Amino acid sequence: MKKTRLDNWICEVESLPELTREGLERLQLRRLNETLARLKARGGVYRDYPEKLDNLKQLETLPFTTAQMLGHRPGDYLLTSQSEVSRVISGATSGTTGPAKRVFYTEGDTEHTVGFFAAGIGEMLEPGEKCLIAFPFTGPFGLGDLIAKAVERLGGIPIRAGFGQSWGELTALVSETRPETYIGFPVTLLGLARMYPARFPIQRALVSGDACPAGVMDALEQTLGTRLYPHYGSRECGLGGAVTCPAFSGMHLRENHIIPEIIDEAGNVLPEGEYGELVITTVGMEAMPLIRYRTGDYTRFLPPCPCGGVTRRIDTVSRREGPFSMEALDGALFPLPGLVDYRASFDGCLRLDVRLNPNGKEEGILKTAQKLYPNCAMLLHSRPALLTDRPLYLGKRYVTCGS
């Protein structure tokens, strides 16, 4: 099997004749020390950190950065002038409390993101093919726009669907443009496929923006008749963090720009194969590099990939959400063929607001949810999904809790 496009991209942007594990780790250490020197000169939140480390293992001795810290004084993490900032992403994400985080990017940061996106998208997109992009388009440096640039760089044709359209608007756009590929939230794609009135033209998909449990993955792959390309990213790692290769066995990390660790609850670094929280040090960011940032995402490192690629891989990523897991609910419910979408909330009773296509049966939804949480009171409200309906989550999926 040929090596990943990600390996080739790293060689290109880092001017390396070939990519080896030893060479990649030398690059990481050099870039880490360059970042530490910049942080020391800045005199901000990292002013007490060392200016240089002798090896990557010493990174484990440094304190963690948290989402709460970013929300408190985000400007203290900025290493460039405001005039060099081309993009700021601000706002709270699901599972985050306290002040909203703000993450800054230079034009160089976003160019690296486009290159990384192109490396991942290139595994599924052929020149001349159309790609439906179901992410927000918020300007020249927004997520949807960066993905569109990557698609165009590969010789593809971006179809700018955006996010939040009704099922009718999406099915009309797909009927008109007949895209071969898709990039966006996984549940949106599954709902679209189940609402589509004819043979679904989308053949391949890079799914991102939210967790993709096994049940959702299986349902999507059965619908498309092919494997999916999951992607992991966050605003803190420059929107792009890890992509799937044709071996379909985990996601390869963007290790020229990210030094990853997996830690346990006490903050101890875990070995390969053990599940824990993903921690990232973003040595490739110009505007806002972060040292040992705790992502709140849980995964594990996988052994070397069958594709022969050099970069480390992470397994499926999940979040710890409290008494009810949206990922577990999605994984259990979406294999039921008639489910288009649903919303979950809890106020002492787990309430499921469900949208079904003509093949859907309310009884199957409730029975499946009760098997997952047998000691919980539940109420289910269902109705047929309409073309005027929109996806019930305009962002990450989570269980809304109230009193």
Mean pLDDT value across the chain: 91
Residue 243, helix vs strand vs coil: strand
For position 396, what pLDDT does the model report? 81
CATH superfamily ID and name for 1-317: ANL, N-terminal domain (3.40.50.12780)
Which band of pLDDT confidence, cut at 50, 70 and 90, is reported for residue 91? low
Which band of pLDDT confidence, cut at 50, 70 and 90, is reported for residue 138? confident
Note the pLDDT tens digit of each residue in 202-246: 999 999 987 788 889 999 999 889 899 999 999 999 899 999 999
For position 376, what pLDDT does the model report? 93
* CATH class given for the domain over 326-401: alpha beta
Task: List strand residue ranges (DSSP E) for 98-244, in order.
Answer: 101-106, 130-134, 157-160, 181-184, 204-207, 229-232, 242-244
For position 253, what pLDDT does the model report? 97
Note the pLDDT tens digit of each residue in 307-327: 999 999 999 998 876 778 899
- Report whether pLDDT(336) > 50: yes
Between the two ends of the chain, the Cα-to-Cα distance in Å is 54
Please report, for residues 190, 198, 200, 218, 262, the alpha-carbon distance to residue 132 in angstroms, rounded to integers and kept in the order given: 14, 17, 13, 21, 34
- Rounded-to-integer distance, Cα 147 and Cα 90, Å: 19
- Residue 341 pairs with which residues in a beta bridge? 355
Which band of pLDDT confidence, cut at 50, 70 and 90, is reported for residue 97? very low
pTM of the model: 0.92
Domain ranges of the chain: 1-317, 326-401
The closest of 226, 276, 257 to 119, measured between CA atoms, is 257
Q: How far is CA 116 from the centre of its chain?
A: 13
Say which residue, 61 or 337, is predicted with more confidence: 61
Which band of pLDDT confidence, cut at 50, 70 and 90, is reported for residue 99? low
Instruction: Say if residues 330 and 215 touch (Cβ distance below 8 Å).
Output: yes
Lowest mean pLDDT among 5-9, 101-105, 112-116, 183-187: 101-105
For position 192, what pLDDT does the model report? 96
- Rounded-to-integer distance, Cα 187 and Cα 150, Å: 23
For position 42, what pLDDT does the model report? 86
Instruction: Say if residues 245 and 231 touch (Cβ distance below 8 Å).
Output: no
Average pLDDT over residues 63-75: 88
For position 163, what pLDDT does the model report? 87
For position 142, what pLDDT does the model report? 86
Q: What percent of the chain has pLDDT over 90?
A: 74
- Report whether pLDDT(183) > 90: yes
Instruction: Say if residues 323 and 350 touch (Cβ distance below 8 Å).
Output: no
For position 84, what pLDDT does the model report? 85
For position 26, what pLDDT does the model report? 97
- Report whether pLDDT(201) > 90: yes
Same fold? 1-317, 326-401:
no
For position 394, what pLDDT does the model report? 82
Average pLDDT over residues 270-296: 96
For position 36, what pLDDT does the model report? 96
- Report whether pLDDT(120) > 60: yes
For position 101, what pLDDT does the model report? 78
Polymer length of the chain: 403
Average pLDDT over residues 339-357: 94
Q: What percent of the chain has pLDDT over 70?
A: 96
Average pLDDT over residues 292-311: 94
For position 94, what pLDDT does the model report? 39
